[in-house]
Structure 1
Amino acid sequence: METANNIAITVESIVNAPVAKVWESWTKPEHITKWCQASDDWHAPYADNDLRVGGSFTTTMAAKDGSFSFDFGGIYTAVEDNRLIEYTVGDGRKVSIIFEDQGNSTKVIETFDPESTNPIEMQRGGWQAILDNFKKYTETL
């Protein structure tokens, strides 16, 4: 994955849970709203997910103080249960998430095209923070 000026960014984590549990936590709206934020002063009050090729998803990310919110969403281009999710966001950037079954743990590798507004390290840090929240949430289910 490459954009005109930037090479894709990858974040990853090993989640101490079997792949079926990790997949469910990643894909079910009732779980997404519990982990999809980069910091404690944000939350995800809404999530909708039609997990199939051609299906769409939307997650609302909002500051808890009500000062700012935005919807993050896209269209799925590939879905392989317990293994792979790929999608394109509204501005055309591509995202790929690989779920590597490691028995009692799952390696999650998320690769995404950067946007052109924020520095690469800020984007990497934000996506890694969300993935870290996902790991923490999923391991306590």
Structure 2
Amino acid sequence: MKELTDRYSKFNIDDIIETRIKQAISTIKEENESVLENISKSFTELKTYTIALKKCFDTSQEEISKLSMKLNQIASDNTTQTELWQELTQIEDNHKTNLMNSIHSLQHEFRNSQRCNNSKMNDIEQLLHTLPRLSTPLNQNEGTRIPNPQV
């Protein structure tokens, strides 16, 4: 009987040890799978954030490029505006000079011919005095003079 008891006890202990080892292996596998799943989720999140950051970076690069083009266009427009202003000023100065020369010529002619009365001479003098006020070109939208742009 003792033999049977010893044998039975030993059999049960081996079974218990084997069962415990299987349970431990199963638990370790489950924990490892959980850890691997968490690592996989973390990598997926990291990939998602990386893609989002890349899109933000690409968008900011596009915006920088657009702003750079706009800045270049503004600089070009300012240069063109300055060139047009200078051309307009030159044309205006030429017309003013021609007009003043014509008025002086008429004034001289009237004085020489002595056909000019005082009121006509006064009109001519007043016209001459208004010319310096015409030193800025007209704003086409408002019909008023506009100042020289500061670039």
Q: TM-score, length-normalised on structure 1?
A: 0.20
Q: Find the structure with the greater CA-based Rg.
A: 2
Return the structure number with greater helix share: 2
Return the structure number with greater strand share: 1
Q: TM-score, length-normalised on structure 2?
A: 0.19
